[in-house]
Amino acid sequence: MAFKATLLAAGAALALAGSAAADPVKVGMITTLSGGGASLGIDTRDGFMLAVEAAANPDLTVVIEDDQQKPEIAVQLADKLIQSDKVDVLTGIVWSNLAMAVVPAATAQGKTYLSTNAAPSQLAGKGCNPGYFSVSYQNDNLHEAAGAYAATAGIKRAFIMAPNYPAGKDSLSGFKRFYEGEVVSEVYTQLGQTDYAGEIAQIRASGADGVFIFLPGGMGISFVKQYADSGVGLPLIGPAFSFDQSILQAMGDAAVGVLNGANWSPDLDTAANATFVESFRAAYGRLPSVYAAYGYDTANLLLSAMAKAPVSDAEAFRAALKEADFASVRGKFSFAPSNHPIQDLYVREVVKEGDIYTNKIVGTAMTDRGNPYEDACKM
Amino acid sequence: MSAMLLIEQALNGLQYGIMLFLMAAGLTLVFGVMGLINLAHGSLYMLGAFACAAVAAATGSFWLGLVASLAAAAAAGALIELSVIRRLYARDHLDQVLATFALILILSEGTRWLFGSFPLYLDIPAALSGPVRLPGGIDYPLYRLALIGFGLAVAAGLFLLIGRTRLGIRIRAGEADREMIAALGVDISRLYTLVFALGAALAGLAGALVGALQSVQVGMGEPVLILAFVVIVIGGIGSIRGALFGALLVGMTDTLGRALLPVAFATVLPPAEAGSVGAALASMLIYILMAGVLVIRPGGLFGRA
């Protein structure tokens, strides 16, 4: 499924503008629009396009492609976008393994890549690149936020759990980096596991007073429902991925009261955020998720750079991106030397408002947090 | 590890095995009677869960949802058999795999088109929610106990159906020699539609029952499908009894492996490494079990070698 969202008839608009400075920018968005992970990609796309449509900049064209959450498809799409569509900028990948397959090759071909989500440690440290910007976070950040806040929330003896794959291991090490309590048990589950009765029995027997989980997507829904029904009742904390807007409605009451580390929340008190949440709800009839927020910020960052430098001058264009001169829905936002964000990290609590389950900020976990791989980045 | 925890884990394994049985029973029935490899079995499981979630959301009753899941999956099964599967009996297994794989894609995208990409909400019925205290002081979720009872009842019903009814006689006869029972005047094509719909209804029922514990989303059927294939290979393809024993064996091995292996490794390795090595080995355990069974009994535990 490929469709082109050409915003205005470029020719007519150019004639009207009549400005010589106009330098058209073509963006290739590769994201997940089918399969089990589609809700994340759809929110990324919708958030991005909301900002693009609001700006109505005739010089910006977006080509959207579906990667089906498969690395080999993402690589093919990147080749097609670069070689036949001749895009200047790539964006949109949700998953770290797909990003690792696409980003290094794209930046090596002189393209600029703006990450709306995935930001693996390999691309932050040794593998950093002047053409690669992560607008979302560095992968460890939201786990660090949960870890930094857990002791404050009264969790002194934590049971921590994640799937047995690279992001799961990064998650637990991210949590432990700033956690001040004691980890009583560290459990790795199977990726895609749907039954957690065994782990819940271990939690009950572990003597922990709180549980940290990183179980994205359907795994988290399964765990939270089963955990609530088990009556164990210890406080639960995780990164925002496990308790995001796109999956909260499927968890229902079971998720209420759960804490999660995030760098954005629908109730974050900034003017840009109020506009974003309101217009997203008006356009799509639902509350935005963190993925939509990252998509929206990415489009606005791109638009801010387009106003400052022509994309044909890669160095000037990247310098313009690095200034991050846009109104982020997260409020404070700047880039560290490695092109990863420096931002505040929060802890949110799942609440029910009317019929809708959503998140509210309950505290700030870390201020002006960058990432732990900064020193390894030489550029 | 205390005895209490061990008993609780054994109950978990039993419950997991029973759920796998519901899924594997339909698969093994269809393969045994019709000689058909049906990869779309997982999609029927998903369909049952979606039907249950949609009806439960509209009416507020999980039980109506459960009825709807049976009806929807059986109807979808019959429809699929009449329109697609019927053309595949004479073809080889590779064609069947190809066609039923296409069905997975069609049913998945069709479900997304109908229900959207976001997971649906389906909760366990209020009457069965929360834990109960078992003798010995174990707090165990009532719903999981109910699942064990319900699954065993379905298993008993299936054995009666296959062993004691006229339909069961025909199914067994169809398994043994399809030309002969056709020659005896049994409408074999109607029998096939019925068996396929029965298998689909079992998958749909499993989807609805498990959907209440897990997440109802597109693609939820495929991981279970793989396990169901492991179960029927271990149990012996075509054997309902084999499916039951295979499912309980896989359920127990998986659950107890995940619980015990990290603890066992922790006696020789540091805790972080023990967890990681234990988890890795636990996820391989059922495949090691399958390989072991195949070495000793190539036809499966209850299969015709």
* β-strand pairing of B138-141 with B131-134: antiparallel
CB pairs A-B closer than 8 Å: 134
Helix (H) or strand (E) holding B7: helix B3-34
pLDDT for res B1: 59
Over the stretch B184-242, which tens digit does the pLDDT of each residue have? 888 888 999 999 999 999 999 999 999 999 889 888 898 889 999 999 999 998 888 99
Cβ contacts of B112 on chain A, cutoff 8 Å: 34, 38
pLDDT for res A16: 42
Closest approach of chain A CAs to the CA of B110, in angstroms? 11
Given a contact cutoff of 8 angstroms between Cβ atoms, the answer to whether B38 and B245 are in contact is: no
Whole-angstrom CA distances from B160 to A178, B167, B168, B188 are 60, 11, 8, 21
- Name the 3-class secondary structure at A322: helix
Which of B 31-60 lie inside 8 A of A, CB atoms?
none
Q: Which amino acid is at A122?
A: Q
Closest approach of chain A CAs to the CA of B296, in angstroms? 28
Cβ contacts of A229 on chain B, cutoff 8 Å: 124, 129-131, 141, 143, 213
A26 CB contacts (<8 Å, ≥6 apart)? Answer: A61, A62, A63, A85, A86, A87, A88, A89
- How much is the average pLDDT of A293-302? 97
Which of B 196-215 lie inside 8 A of A, CB atoms?
210, 212-215
Q: Look up tokens 């078992």; give the residue.
A: B134
> DSSP character for A190?
P
Cβ contacts of B144 on chain A, cutoff 8 Å: 197
Q: Which amino acid is at A174?
A: G
A173: nearest CA partner in chain B: B272
Over the stretch A270-280, which tens digit does the pLDDT of each residue have? 999 999 999 99
- Whole-number Å distance between alpha carbons of A259 and B281: 32
> Could you tell me if B137 lies within 8 Å of chain A, comparing CB atoms?
no
Percentage of residues of chain B with pLDDT beyond 90: 55
A1: nearest CA partner in chain B: B109
- Name the 3-class secondary structure at A118: coil
The dihedral region occupied by A46, where left means phi > 0, alpha psi between -120 and 50, and beta the remainder, is alpha
- Would you state the structure tokens that stand for residue B225, as one six-digit string? 């499908």
Closest approach of chain A CAs to the CA of B152, in angstroms? 19
pLDDT for res B5: 85
- Would you state the structure tokens that stand for residue A268, as one six-digit string? 């974050």
Cβ contacts of B217 on chain A, cutoff 8 Å: 36, 217-218, 221, 250
Nearest to A370 by CA among A346, A337, A347, A348: A337
Q: What is the mean pLDDT of chain A?
A: 90
- Would you state the structure tokens that stand for residue A368, as one six-digit string? 């002006």
> Could you tell me if B1 lies within 8 Å of chain A, comparing CB atoms?
yes
- Name the 3-class secondary structure at A132: strand
Percentage of residues of chain A with pLDDT beyond 70: 94
pLDDT for res A290: 95
Cβ contacts of A34 on chain B, cutoff 8 Å: 109, 112
Residue A5 reports pLDDT greater than 80: no
- How much is the average pLDDT of A101-125? 94
- How much is the average pLDDT of A306-331? 94
Helix (H) or strand (E) holding A63: strand A60-66
Q: Can you state the percent helix, strand and coil of chain A, rounding each to 5?
A: 40, 20, 35
Interface test with B, best of A194, A226, A251, A286 (most B CBs within 10 A): A194
Across the interface, which of A38, A164, A222 has its CB nearest the CB of B213? A222
- Whole-number Å distance between alpha carbons of A307 and A8: 18
Chain mean position to CA A46: 14
Residue B123 reports pLDDT greater than 80: yes
A245: nearest CA partner in chain B: B118
pLDDT for res A114: 97
Cβ contacts of A195 on chain B, cutoff 8 Å: 12, 16, 213-214
- Whole-number Å distance between alpha carbons of B297 and B291: 10
Over the stretch A21-39, which tens digit does the pLDDT of each residue have? 458 999 999 999 987 778 8
Per-residue H/E/C for B55-69: HHHHHCCHHHHHHHH
Bridge partner residues of A359 (DSSP)? A350
Over the stretch B142-191, which tens digit does the pLDDT of each residue have? 999 999 999 999 999 999 998 899 999 888 888 888 888 888 888 888 99
- Whole-number Å distance between alpha carbons of A41 and A274: 22
- Would you state the structure tokens that stand for residue B284, as one six-digit string? 């391989």
- How much is the average pLDDT of A56-64? 95
- Whole-number Å distance between alpha carbons of A88 and A348: 37
Exposed, middle or buried: residue B3 (CB in 10 Å: 0-12, 13-18, 19+)? exposed
List domains and CATH numbers for chain A: 2-118+269-329 (3.40.50.2300), 141-263+345-376 (3.40.50.2300)
Which of A 41-60 lie inside 8 A of B, CB atoms?
42
Answer yes or no: do A201 and B130 touch at CB < 8 A. no
Answer yes or no: do A202 and B5 touch at CB < 8 A. yes
> Could you tell me if B272 lies within 8 Å of chain A, comparing CB atoms?
yes
Across the interface, which of A198, A225, A249 has its CB nearest the CB of B259? A198
Given a contact cutoff of 8 angstroms between Cβ atoms, the answer to whether A163 and A215 are in contact is: yes
Residue B271 reports pLDDT greater than 80: no
- Whole-number Å distance between alpha carbons of A347 and B95: 52
Cβ contacts of A222 on chain B, cutoff 8 Å: 213-215
Answer yes or no: do B213 and A189 touch at CB < 8 A. no
- Whole-number Å distance between alpha carbons of B268 and B275: 12
Exposed, middle or buried: residue A43 (CB in 10 Å: 0-12, 13-18, 19+)? buried
Bridge partner residues of A238 (DSSP)? A260
Answer yes or no: do A194 and B118 touch at CB < 8 A. no
> Could you tell me if B259 lies within 8 Å of chain A, comparing CB atoms?
yes
Q: Look up tokens 């049906």; give the residue.
A: B38
> Could you tell me if B220 lies within 8 Å of chain A, comparing CB atoms?
yes
Answer yes or no: do B121 and A250 touch at CB < 8 A. yes
Across the interface, which of B2, B15, B217 has its CB nearest the CB of A197? B15
Nearest to A227 by CA among A192, A198, A249, A248: A198
Length of chain A: 379
pLDDT for res A18: 37
Answer yes or no: do A218 and B279 touch at CB < 8 A. no
Answer yes or no: do B2 and A205 touch at CB < 8 A. yes
Over the stretch B35-79, which tens digit does the pLDDT of each residue have? 888 999 999 999 999 999 999 999 999 999 999 999 999 999 999
Answer yes or no: do A201 and B259 touch at CB < 8 A. yes
Own/partner contacts of B168-174, CB < 8 Å, gap of 24 or more, are: B171/B29, B171/B33, B171/B195, B174/B33, B174/B34
pLDDT for res A1: 41
Closest approach of chain A CAs to the CA of B262, in angstroms? 8
Over the stretch B15-28, which tens digit does the pLDDT of each residue have? 999 999 999 999 99
Q: Phi, psi at residue A185, to the nearest 5°? A: -155, 140
Nearest to A372 by CA among A141, A171, A180, A84: A141
pLDDT for res A22: 59
Nearest to A58 by CA among A29, A17, A87, A86: A17
Answer yes or no: do B121 and A252 touch at CB < 8 A. yes
Across the interface, which of A34, A229, A249 has its CB nearest the CB of B141? A229
> Could you tell me if A252 lies within 8 Å of chain B, comparing CB atoms?
yes
Cβ contacts of A186 on chain B, cutoff 8 Å: 271-272, 275
pLDDT for res A11: 41
* DSSP codes of every residue in B215-270: -B-TTTHHHHHHHHHHHHHHH-TT-HHHHHHHHHHHHHHHHHHHHHHHHHHHTTS-
pLDDT for res A210: 95
- Name the 3-class secondary structure at B206: helix
A228: nearest CA partner in chain B: B130
Over the stretch A128-187, which tens digit does the pLDDT of each residue have? 999 999 999 999 999 999 999 998 999 999 999 999 887 888 899 999 999 999 999 999
- Quote the ipTM score: 0.82
Per-residue H/E/C for B67-126: HHHHHHHHHHHHHHHHHCHHHHCCCCHHHHHHHHHHHHHHHHHHHHHHHCCCCECCCCCH
Q: What is the dihedral sign for C-alpha A110, A112, A118, A120?
A: positive
> Could you tell me if A230 lies within 8 Å of chain B, comparing CB atoms?
yes
> Could you tell me if B121 lies within 8 Å of chain A, comparing CB atoms?
yes
